[in-house]
Amino acid sequence: MKKGTTAQVHVHVDASPEVVYAAVSDVRRMGEWSPETIKCEWLDGANGPAVGAHFKGTNKRGFVTWSTKPTVVVADPGREFAFDVGSDTRWIYRVEPDGTGTKLTESFEMLRDLRWYYAFAERWLMRVKDRNADLERGMAATLERIKRVVESEASGVN
């Protein structure tokens, strides 16, 4: 993928923007809903979303497992949470009022051209032919899972 490549998906969640923001900005919960991320943990004494905070994300796709150490670049409660994975990709979660609930949007932006070794790993080790389409499918699955979990928690049903 080339620098500037973006994609986004969105979903309506029957919960307030503050509740939705609290869920998506708690990176420790990412393993609950991401089809690729299996675990995240705050690093260096961070215990929640704040600009400059770092966390470790562990991902798995097939037999390939890798970790990243993203940096939070936006932590605006009830509005937006974003983090950069190195100098490569920015992931953004926006929440905005939508009737009696929230419109939740997840997007990414390539901050630089995809490094050759990532492209190789995606294509030949993970067997992904179209990473952009693959990420869009993953984002849609993530948002549907967030919707299901947040609405269940908001209604008191587990």
Q: What is the 3-state secondary structure (H, E, C) of 114-126?
A: CCHHHHHHHHHHC
The reply to whether 66 falls in a domain is: yes
pLDDT one-digit tens code per residue, 42-89: 999 999 999 999 999 999 988 889 999 999 999 999 999 999 999 999
Of 123, 7, 132, 112, nearest in space to 64 by CA: 123
The reply to whether 1 falls in a domain is: no
The reply to whether 69 falls in a domain is: yes
Of 119, 126, 118, nearest in space to 63 by CA: 126
**If residue 30 lies in a helix (H) or strand (E), which one and from where to where?**
helix 30-33
Cα separation of 83 and 69, whole Å? 10
Q: How far is the first Cα of the chain from the last one, in angstroms, to the nearest whole number?
A: 39
The whole-number average pLDDT for the span 28-51 is 96
Give me the domain span that covers residue 129: 6-153
The larger pLDDT score, comparing residue 118 to residue 16, is at 16
Query: 24 pLDDT exceeds 60?
Result: yes
Q: Do the strands 37-42 and 55-61 form a parallel or antiparallel pair, or are they unpaired?
A: antiparallel
Cα separation of 68 and 139, whole Å? 18
Residue 113: its pLDDT value, please?
A: 78
The reply to whether 158 falls in a domain is: no
> Any idea what the CATH number is for the domain that residue 31 is in?
3.30.530.20
pLDDT one-digit tens code per residue, 89-139: 999 999 999 999 999 999 999 888 777 667 666 666 667 677 778 889 999
* Structural domain count, the chain: 1
What six digits make up the tokens of 3?
């620098």
Residue 134: its pLDDT value, please?
A: 80
